Structure 1
Amino acid sequence: MSSAGSTDAQRSFIEQARQAQIIRATIEVLAEQGYGAASFARIARHASISPALITYHFGTKDFLMRGVLATIEERLDDAMAGTDDEPDSYPDALKGMLERFVEHCWSHGEEVSAMTEIRRQARSESLRQAFSSSHDRGTAELVAFIEEGQAHGQFRDTDPALFASVLLVAMGEFSRLRGRSADENRRIAVEWASLFVNAISATTAPRDPGSENDEQDQ
């Protein structure tokens, strides 16, 4: 690699590290002090850097908050995706996804608080569009998953969009349900996930697609 290429790669690495540092500091300020207190000056003091450095990397508060949202949502998506092990059924897949969501929320409380602050307090058009795009994307993915489970006879015949909407609202409010002890948290996590798994799981065994042809031939 040329010297110029090495310098560019090093600069890129340093810039990414600095942006991550700023986003981390912003998350902490949002969680501790709220959206209104998350000025560049306060975030800079929290990160022990110059406010001008935040302006250099993000330009405006809106772009910084969009960067924070993108980071939090990416980490949450990765956590919910889980391992490479294939679940035994669609209800099992939904159960695992929801339990991983719960675990991530409770082990990354600052990120959840920061995301909640932005969604509730931000008023700019660009942030509203970011929320809308994220919501639409999450809804589409969940609807597709539900429809696939229905096609395999493992989810009951309900409106996928309605179920997805109710579940996403519940996920947005879940952080309020934290218990007073680790045991209570585990109980809440299991019961909360079970509510949605039981609500959509088919109550009868999946029908063999070939059975209809067999009956018609008789």
Structure 2
Amino acid sequence: MPKRNSTVRRSEIIDALLRVMADRGWANATVNRIAAEANITPGLIHYHFQNKQEILVELVRRLEEEHESRIEHLARAGTPTERVKTMVMGYLKTSPARGDAEAVATWVTITAESIRQPEVRDAFGDAVMRWMEPMRQAIEDGLKTGEFDTGGLSPEACAAAVLACVQGYYNLGVTVREAVPKGSAVSCALRMVAGMLRISDFDSFVAE
């Protein structure tokens, strides 16, 4: 087997954890299974990481970085209304960071583990706050330009509501997929956001 440098090997292990978690969940993501998925020995896992929890924390950070890279241009281009719309569509037409079912399933599992594991909760909390910031900024800008009227709700509260909507769709999409009619998530989310922000051109905003 060709020798890998440490950065590449760690990245491969993180990728392996994502795939195993998406298929089997966190409890069944044993070091042996992660090693088999990465095509390495369990000893190499322990060489690069103290335990599988450390791999999970790094996976959260990886998803956060990839999400930021993907969503950055959506958060900067256009009017506040256009930015909010493209971000909502970007969140729901693609998964957290990677745009695939594995990443969504893994993110939902990470959400659950953040309740149980303080280290994961810290990394998850950092990711959530960073994900919310572009939405918060767009809403704040829209209030200044008069495009939005939140009825006194703060930009922070509105951004949290948008994220809660998106997270809810992620959770249902993984756990009870039949509960969400196909193709309805983006349309419904846009309508909820348009109502909360009291966007005047409602029909234009909700058109996909």
Q: TM-score, normalised by structure 1?
A: 0.75
- CA distance in 2 between partners of 1:196 and 1:47 (Å): 41
**Structure 1 segment 1-218 matched on structure 2, within 5 A:** 14-82=5-73, 86-87=77-78, 89-105=79-95, 107-122=99-114, 123-157=116-150, 158-159=152-153, 160-175=155-170, 176-177=172-173, 184-185=182-183, 187-203=184-200
- Sort the Cα spacing of 1:137 and 1:80 in 2 relative to 1 into closer, same or farther, 3 A: closer
Partners of 2:28 and 2:136 lie apart in 1 by: 37
Identity across matched positions, percent? 21
Regions of 4+ moved over 4 Å: 177-180
If you compute each CA radius of gyration, which structure gives the higher value, 1 or 2?
1
Deviation at 1:196, TM superposition (A): 1.0
User: Which secondary structure does the structure 1 equivalent of 2:148 belong to?
Assistant: coil
Deviation for aligned residue 1:198:
4.1
CA drift of 1:16 comes to 2.2
CA contact (8 A) 2:74 2:87 kept: no
Aligned length: 189
Distance 1:151 1:19, change over 3 A: same
Aligned counterparts of 2:75 and 2:18: Cα–Cα separation in 1: 30
Q: Rate the CA distance shift 1:14–1:194 in 2: closer, same or farther, 3 A.
A: farther
* CA distance 1:70–1:52, shift in 2 (3 Å): same
The answer as to whether partners of 2:10 and 2:48 remain within 8 angstroms in 1 is yes
Q: Is the 8 A contact 2:87 2:135 kept in 1?
A: no
**Contact 1:22–1:47 under 8 Å retained in 2:** yes
Partner Cα distance (2:83, 2:136) in 1? 14
Listed one character per residue, the Cα deviations across residues 151-186 of structure 1 (whole Å, up to 9, x for unaligned) are 111111431222122211112121225878xx932x
For the aligned residue pairs, the C-alpha RMSD in angstroms reads 2.7
Structure 1: state its 5+ residue gaps.
1-10, 205-218
SS of the equivalent of 1:52 reads helix
TM-score using structure 2 length: 0.78
